[in-house]
């Protein structure tokens, strides 16, 4: 549902199938089409080992910064619809391979904990592939319950995460 006020929102984007870097770019283009929403920032693109089963290709990840007049539930609904349009197959194996994945990482200063939506994203404080891209575009952002993105990043090891695309 569109509101009169604009809320900053941050989305993590991931892929490890069908030319993942191209899928990330397609994902960013798709996010830019969400109604009542502006894509205002994009991170570098990173590559890393998969979080889940290791018998799959490396993951490619990025983050997008948005301003939206949608509420968090409506924004998530648009993101899930875009995943389907971009070729995400169902059912998805938890942490398994996928063409595209959108995660709502942060939505304004809100904390949301429902069955279908948890914000800030529960993995944000421990996943290098989420926090490093977010730090590219919003290092001073305060994440409710976790501190600033820069503070979170300082606690998360880079591991094998490597930059594959400059800003």
Task: Write out pLDDT tens, residues 86-139.
Answer: 988 765 667 678 899 999 999 999 999 999 999 999 999 999 999 999 999 999
| Residue 142 contacts residue 109 (beta carbons within 8 Å) | yes
CATH number of 2-165: 3.30.70.560
**Tens digit of pLDDT for each residue in 144-161?**
999 999 999 999 999 999
Q: What is the pLDDT of residue 97?
A: 83
**Tens digit of pLDDT for each residue in 57-83?**
999 999 999 999 999 999 999 999 999
CA dist., res. 29 & res. 147, Å (int): 30
Q: What is the pLDDT of residue 89?
A: 72
Mapping DSSP to helix (H, G, I), strand (E, B) and coil, where does residue 132 land? helix
Catalytic residue at 165? Answer: no
Q: What is the pLDDT of residue 33?
A: 97
* 155: Cβ contacts below 8 Å, ≥ 6 apart: 125
Q: What is the pLDDT of residue 80?
A: 95
Q: Which residues pair with 65 in a beta bridge?
A: 10, 41
Catalytic residue at 101? Answer: yes
Average pLDDT over residues 9-13: 98
Q: What is the pLDDT of residue 1?
A: 67
DSSP-derived pairing of the beta strands 101-107 and 2-15? antiparallel
**What average pLDDT does the chain have?**
93
Active-site entry in 88, 94, 113, 165: 88
Cα 150–Cα 105–Cα 95 angle in degrees, nearest 5: 110
Catalytic residue at 44? Answer: no
pTM over 0.85: yes
Active-site entry in 26, 98, 127, 136: 98
Catalytic residue at 113? Answer: no
C-alpha closest to that of 15 among 97, 121, 135, 105: 97
Q: How is the chain split into domains, by residue range?
A: 2-165
Active-site entry in 26, 42, 103, 127: 103
Active-site entry in 42, 101, 127, 136: 101
């Amino acid at each position: 549902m569109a509101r009169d006020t604009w809320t900053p929102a941050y989305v993590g984007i991931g892929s490890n199938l069908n030319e993942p870097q191209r899928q990330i770019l397609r994902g960013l283009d798709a996010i830019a089409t969400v109604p009542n929403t502006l894509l205002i920032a994009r991170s570098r693109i990173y590559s890393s080992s998969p979080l889940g089963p290791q018998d799959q290709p490396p993951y490619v990840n990025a983050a997008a910064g948005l301003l939206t007049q949608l509420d968090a539930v409506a924004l998530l609904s648009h993101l899930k619809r875009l995943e389907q349009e971009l070729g995400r197959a169902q059912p998805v194996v938890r942490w398994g391979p996928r063409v595209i994945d959108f995660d709502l990482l942060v939505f304004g200063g809100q904390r949301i904990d429902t069955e279908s939506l948890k914000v800030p994203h529960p993995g944000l404080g421990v996943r290098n592939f989420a926090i490093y891209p977010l730090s590219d575009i919003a290092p001073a952002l305060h994440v409710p319950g976790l501190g600033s993105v820069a503070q979170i990043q300082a606690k998360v090891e880079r591991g094998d995460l490597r930059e594959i695309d400059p800003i």
